[in-house]
Chains A and B, each alone.
Chain A
Amino acid sequence: MMREELLMVIEKNSRIDLKELAIILGVEEIDIVNELATMEKEGIICGYHTLIDWDKTTIDKVTALIEVRVTPQRGHGFDAIAERIYKYPEVRAVYLISGGYDLLVILDGKNLREVSQFVSDKLSTQESILSTATHFVLKKYKDHGTIFEKKSEDERMVITP
């Protein structure tokens, strides 16, 4: 029970103060420390990242979603080709997908050229890749459950209770 609640809180705010976490979950700090360590060891917690709206910075960045169709390899299925792709540091995510294509690759690049170069040089040249389709992200409205537009003010009116 505490594990689920703990994960729900830190999924949204991994920087929350340990003391506060203990208060709001109604447990001891030491229990939280232990639980976090256990979940890190078990690979449940895989990292503590920061959600950044890059559009608001001066750093150039484009994101592309690439649909990849592949021929699965004997004995390895899709895993071997997925690994060949995810080892590139510019690849942010690789998912095995049901439906019209096999792998969804999410890629960060500086600009369109860099991304297309990656696709033509690194992806299309792989033997087991049959085809790719690249979609560029134009605007991110919401990411990781967080809406990027500024939240509206409290519109509740002051009424008698």
Chain B
Amino acid sequence: MRNPLSREVVTIKPSGIRKFFDIVSEMKDAISLGVGEPDFDTPWHIRDEGIYSLEKGRTFYTSNAGLKELKIEICNYLKRRFELEYHYKDEVIVTVGGSEAIDIALRAMLDPGDEVLIPQPCYVSYDPCTVLAGGKPVPIQLKQENQFRLTPQEILDAVTEKTKVLILAFPNNPTGAIMEKKDLEAIAKVIIEKDLFVISDEIYAELSYAENHVSIASIPGMRERTIVINGFSKSYAMTGWRLGYACGPEEIIEQMTKIHQFAIMCAPTTSQYAAVEALKNGDEDVKRMREAYNQRRRYLVHVFRELGLECFEPFGAFYVFPCIREFGMTSDEFATRFLQEEKVAVVPGTAFGDCGEGFLRISYAYSMEDLKLAIGRFSDFVERLRAEQNK
């Protein structure tokens, strides 16, 4: 029999932390600070709207790019919150989570051999999606001394004549880094000069704690070369509903819609109706959850600093990214020992790119009680390691 598999697919590595989480799920009374999704339930009025849509028998497909009503609300929302202006008719597509939007944006824009700049550490799917779209991922290693922000020089150092797309993911998973307006203006200059396009994954836009999130598409000259990706998972605690969207120039959205149409048909109808409610009446929920995350964030940063760990202050998403280099272990070794000895799971920074070595991703999408329990064990562990070092 012939090899049934595509060579390209086989070469893609499965996500590195699978094996790690397999141990976690086997371990009794292990606590996890590893999950990357909100601990809140979807606000009840949103769930209720989903249920209502089912009761009404709205169980048909929607148009490929999504419900008109939802697309209009998305445009209102982006205008209201981030001063972004899109036309609902041909500049918006509703997708199955932000993840699908990333995939189809890359597939719509890349030709074989096109290079994609991927600042790391970052969410794990940009690299494989680039490969599957025929592109070549080119990592940019972000640095802690820059607070894991992307600088113009870093783009210039990585760019070649084949570079076509830059993926920008701020507020960032796993570092919690943000890009402020001045940072975006600085890189926009280079992006325009080098004629690059940007896929801006802004799924954590609502979880920005220092100031309101700024989208790169709102920087002059960037709208026409940017696909903005956002969704409902993080801001409205709607991960399981699988709903996101992409906005951008008609020319690109049109091609993305074509791929979406053939691969997916349309995003789930129930979720789309629920999402209309979320955008219409969910601002207070977002604010309430953001405030809760912010309190936990302050707590964690405080504890890590009190422990004497190097930890830059993350201003976005729901992750803290402390440095553990002082213990002379790799991230993987540290996380494995911590899990075995204290039964707490955190994600090694290397799961998000090689430059994550020496860091841990700690999620604060957990209640304060859980966090306190886990952090108590973390302190014990750190003290024990230091005692070992001093022997």
Residues of B within 8 A of A156 (CB): 35, 37, 39
Q: How many A-B residue pairs have CB under 8 A?
A: 45
Interface positions, chain B 333-371, Cβ under 8 Å from A, are: 345, 347, 351-352, 361, 368
Of A20, A23, A25, A158, the residue contacting B25 (CB under 8 A) is: A158
Instruction: Determine if A24 and B35 form an interchain contact, defined as CB atoms under 8 angstroms apart.
Output: no
The residue on B at minimum CB distance from A21 is: B295
CA distance A26 to B39 in the complex (A): 22
B345 to chain A, nearest CB (A): 8
**Considering only CB atoms and an 8 Å cut-off, how many residues of chain A contact the other chain?**
14
Task: Flag if B32 contacts A161 (CB, 8 Å).
Answer: no
Determine if A160 and B124 form an interchain contact, defined as CB atoms under 8 angstroms apart: yes
Which 4 residue pairs of A and B lie closest in terms of their CB atoms, listed nearest first? A24-B295, A160-B15, A161-B36, A158-B21
Residue from the list B17, B25, B345, B368 in contact with A160, Cβ < 8 A: B17
Interface residue ranges of A1-53 to B (CB < 8 Å): 5, 8-9, 20, 23-26
Kindly state whether residue B24 has any CB partner on chain A within 8 Å.
yes
Nearest CB on A from B165, distance (A): 22
Min Cβ gap A29→B in Å is: 13
Near B by CB (< 8 A), chain A positions 111-149 give none
**Neighbour of A161 across the interface among B291, B298, B347, CB < 8 A:** B347
Can you give 10 contacting A-B residue pairs, CB < 8 Å? Answer: A8-B291, A23-B298, A24-B295, A156-B35, A156-B37, A158-B21, A158-B24, A160-B15, A161-B36, A161-B352
Q: Are A26 and B347 in contact (CB under 8 A)?
A: no
Q: Nearest Cβ in chain A — how far from B175, in angstroms?
A: 12
Q: 1/0 contact trace for B1-28 toward A, CB 8 Å?
A: 0000000000000010110010011000
Instruction: Report the minimum CB–CB distance from A18 to chain B (whole Å).
Output: 14
Indicate if the CB atoms of A25 and B39 lie closer than 8 Å: no
Chain B residues with a Cβ under 8 A of chain A: 15, 17-18, 21, 24-25, 32, 34-37, 39, 123-124, 173-174, 291, 295-296, 298-299, 302, 345, 347, 351-352, 361, 368
Q: Bound state CA distance, A42 and B10, in angstroms?
A: 68
Cβ distance A14 to chain B, nearest Cβ, rounded Å? 15
**A residues less than 8 Å from B345 (CB atoms):** 158
Q: Which of the residues B35, B173, B295, B302 comes within 8 Å of A158, measured between beta carbons? A: B35
Q: A23-B302, A24-B296 are in contact. Are A161 and B39 (CB under 8 A)?
A: no
A17 CB to nearest B CB, Å: 11
Nearest Cβ on chain B to A28's Cβ, whole angstroms = 13
Query: Once the chains bind, are B295 and A25 in contact (CB under 8 Å)?
Result: yes
| Set of chain B residues within 8 Å of A161, measured between Cβ atoms | 15, 17, 34, 36, 123-124, 173-174, 347, 351-352, 361
Q: Is A154 an interface residue (CB 8 A)?
A: yes
Chain A residues whose C-beta falls within 8 Å of the C-beta of B174 in the assembled complex:
161
- Across-interface contacts of A24 in B (CB, < 8 A): 295-296, 298-299, 368
Q: In the complex, how many angstroms separate the beta carbon of A21 from the nearest chain B beta carbon?
A: 9
Compute how far the CA of A106 lies from the CA of B383 in the bound complex, rounded to whole angstroms: 54
Residues of chain A with a CB closer than 8 A to B34's CB: 158, 161
B18 to chain A, nearest CB (A): 6
B371 to chain A, nearest CB (A): 11
